[in-house]
Amino acid sequence: MRDNANYTVALYIRLSAEDENDGESDSVKNQRDLLTSFVKKNPGLSGCTLLEFCDDGYSGVNFDRPNVKKMLDKVRKGEINCVIVKDFSRFGRNYIEVGDYIEQVFPFLGVRFISVNDNYDSDNDYNSIGGIEVALRTLIYDLYSKDLSQKVRSALAVRHKKGEFLGSYAPFGYKKADDGQNRLVVDEDAAKYVRKMFELAKSGVNAYEIAKILNDDMIPTKSQYKKQVNGYITWDTVSVNFDDAFWTDTAVRKVIQDEVYIGTVVSGKYKRPNIGDKNIKCNPKSEWICVPDKHDPIVSKEDFTLANKNIRIERRKRTEPKERFLYAKVRCHCCNKALVRWKGKIPTYFCNTPRFKPSPDCVTEPVSEIQIEEVLLSAIKAQASSVIDMDKARVKKSGQITERKQELQKMVRRHKGTISSLTASRQEQYERYAEEIISQSEYFFLRDPINEQIEGLAAKIGEVEKLIADCDTLMTDMAHVTETWYEALYTPCLSREMADALVDSIIVYDSEHLEIRWKFADEYAVS
């Protein structure tokens, strides 16, 4: 019989993204209670190890959910033997993906799947609801989800037109009202900084100077203020070092141009083209929903208009990407921020950080773009010559990788062959049970060790296939970069493709000292 002490059960809980309750909702609690009660009442699961995975506030239209990813990763590694959900829709609403997991992935890995409310247990072959019914149920859930999403969209549009503030975070200078009426109230501690920006803009100070004044006066940025109030930041950020954050002209302009500060609620700036689509696109301003006089303004409409009239908004001509070989690659050695490219008769790069706050070690002297490109091209040709000299070593290493890949592929074929034999043996025992040659307990006694072997082999196959994929990636990268180096040796000038393929970044210390950081340094390091 199975040793339940080494049997791991995953309880998966999901709450729809449309739920707006704060904290853990009753729906999560109800699902947890249902699943734990089911485990307690099922003797076959007695004494097993329970793991809980909960995605609270995530849509089921795709599997882009943090905890379902963690659970499935453990499933592939053979660390989970059984998955239990309230119903199919909790696992997912995309009928194709759900069907693949239930009908293909889980059976292949020997993982049991139980849907409590659907009365489905993949182990009960003799009492299965059948693949057709599973597909129909998941299809219904998928269609229901899309219909529900469309209704939610319509309901949100109505609320937006009423002027309700439905954003997750209040704009700088405001906070959400405590009465739960989806409205904003003035946060006086931050509003005084907003008023200061508008006063400076009214008097004709440009955005650069306003940002410098704010930094000189040590006025916190939006993220710094949020952290001061809450003690933490609740949204994803590129940089976690908030102490080094500072105001920029772009951040100042966003404040000055935001109509929320005259009491207007603006929504509909972005849209998701298709339900479940990860991509979000900007709506044209003509499609924004603007509802005036919905909360107390921080500045008057007259001051808002005057500030926006006076503030200088530079409209720089966009440079075609193909002309920008070094876009975002030229960086300051001190602050590591990308240098600003000034397009004149002779384009130059300089660090923008000292314009906003004191930073004496940053690059203050403009560096010629032509000079950087000449140095880079010369360095690329020298590096290319060295790489090509080492090409024989690369070919030898490539052969070793190919041999390793072939060995791994043989291992996968052996494991799959063993799994096929074990699966046939398991099917044979089931047929003996169906013909009442052996009892149910005898069938389980014979089946469980086979399942354990299949699970172990499936886990090994997953690990080996990952190693094979790593071999393929390494071979592709090596071939691509070698081809690029050959092209670089004979090219008369730089190209965007060449810079992207070979150069990670160019660190500028001053006009005479540059450091080039290459990609693929481990494979083609030149001493």
Please report the pLDDT score of residue 321 as a whole number: 43
CA 70 – CA 218 distance, rounded (Å):
42
Amino acid at 32: R
Bridge partners, residue 56, by sequence: 15
Report pLDDT digits (tens) over 59-75: 777 788 889 999 998 98
Averaged pLDDT for residues 383-397:
61
Please report the pLDDT score of residue 392 as a whole number: 52
Beta strands at 82-85 and 8-15: parallel, antiparallel or unpaired: parallel
Question: Tokens 């063993």 appear where?
Answer: 418
In order of their start, the domains of the chain are 4-155 (3.40.50.1390), 174-310 (3.90.1750)
Q: How many helices (H) and strands (E) are present in the chain, helices listed first?
A: 15, 17
Confidence of residue 150 (pLDDT cuts 50, 70, 90): low
Averaged pLDDT for residues 246-267:
87
The lowest-confidence range among 63-77, 87-101, 222-236, 335-349 is 222-236
Averaged pLDDT for residues 459-465:
85
Please report the pLDDT score of residue 504 as a whole number: 86
**CA neighbours closer than 13 Å in the CB half-sphere of residue 271:** 14
Which span out of 45-54, 56-65, 317-326, 401-410 was modeled with the highest average pLDDT? Answer: 45-54
What's the Rg (C-alpha) of the chain? 31
Please report the pLDDT score of residue 319 as a whole number: 44
Closest CA to 84 of 26, 123, 126: 123
pLDDT at 396 over 80: no
Please report the pLDDT score of residue 91 as a whole number: 87
Helix (H) or strand (E) holding 506: strand 503-510
The token pair at 31 is 């699902």
pLDDT at 185 over 50: yes
The token pair at 494 is 């730089």
Please report the pLDDT score of residue 143 as a whole number: 54
Q: Are 39 and 9 in contact (CB under 8 A)?
A: yes
Please report the pLDDT score of residue 393 as a whole number: 54
Confidence of residue 525 (pLDDT cuts 50, 70, 90): very low
DSSP conformational letter for 390: T
Please report the pLDDT score of residue 485 as a whole number: 63
Q: Are 83 and 71 in contact (CB under 8 A)?
A: yes
Closest CA to 249 of 318, 196, 197: 197
pLDDT at 313 over 60: no
- Largest Cα separation within the chain, whole Å, is 95
The lowest-confidence range among 64-73, 94-103, 336-345, 495-504 is 94-103
Phi, psi of 157 (to 5 degrees): -60, -40
Please report the pLDDT score of residue 132 as a whole number: 46
Report pLDDT digits (tens) over 70-112: 999 898 888 999 999 998 888 887 766 777 788 777 887 889 9
Averaged pLDDT for residues 481-509:
73
The token pair at 99 is 């069907």
Please report the pLDDT score of residue 323 as a whole number: 55
Question: Tokens 């200061």 appear where?
Answer: 196
Q: What's the gap between Cα 507 and its chain centre?
A: 28
Amino acid at 5: A
| Percent of the chain with pLDDT strictly greater than 70 | 75
Please report the pLDDT score of residue 119 as a whole number: 83
Please report the pLDDT score of residue 113 as a whole number: 92
Confidence of residue 21 (pLDDT cuts 50, 70, 90): very low
Going from the C-alpha of 230 to that of each of 165, 175, 223, 483, 492, the distances in angstroms are 20, 12, 11, 52, 56
Please report the pLDDT score of residue 465 as a whole number: 85
The token pair at 215 is 């930094």
Averaged pLDDT for residues 506-517:
86
